[in-house]
Amino acid sequence: MNELPFWKRKTLNEMNSEEWESLCDGCGLCCLNKLEEWDTGDVYFTSVACKLLDGQSCRCSNYEKRRDFVPDCVQLTKANVQEIAWLPPTCGYRLVNEGRDLYWWHRLVSGDPETVHQAGISARGRTISETEIDPDNLEDYIVDWPLRVGDGERAKR
């Protein structure tokens, strides 16, 4: 029997916590510092990563207690996923919310958490920690690659 995978048959609200957490592809792009223009609302990604982002695994080094160390860390939830306009175009939460499929390199499709890195989608090797820069110079680190990654082929349906 060829039952559709959960992300194709469930909405985000219908997913249990395990399914919800598994939608994270481990790219680390949401952990990049962003700048927002006050007058336009335009958001710009930087190559500056949260101090808790492990640059090799692209995972939070203290996920469970991250808000103790980074009080303004935005926790993605079923309630706010539609409100967060800066989610990268490759984000599993964004894709499922928009009724689109996951890319071939997503771990739920490939079966391997390393394919997001092998496909060049993640922040691995592209960032500098926020602890290593002067926050007044954040605009010097604006990049567009988080918005361009994943332009390739989607998973076969």
Q: What is the pLDDT of residues 83-102, one digit of tens each?
A: 998 999 999 999 999 999 99
Note the pLDDT of residue 43: 93
Note the pLDDT of residue 100: 94
Cα diameter, the chain: 57
Q: Is the pLDDT of residue 152 over 90?
A: no
Note the pLDDT of residue 1: 57
Percent of the chain with pLDDT over 90: 82
Residue 115, C-beta contacts closer than 8 angstroms, at least 6 positions apart: 104, 105, 106, 107
Q: What is the pLDDT of residues 2-39, one digit of tens each?
A: 699 999 999 999 999 999 999 999 999 999 999 999 99
Note the pLDDT of residue 148: 80
Return d(Cα 48, Cα 152) in angstroms, integer. Answer: 25
Q: Is the pLDDT of residue 61 over 60?
A: yes
Task: Report the relative pairing of strands 43-49 and 32-36 from DSSP bridges.
Answer: antiparallel
CA 9 to chain centre: 22
Q: Please give the model's pTM, rounded to 2 decimal places.
A: 0.87
Quick count: other Cβ atoms within 10 Å of Cβ 121? 25
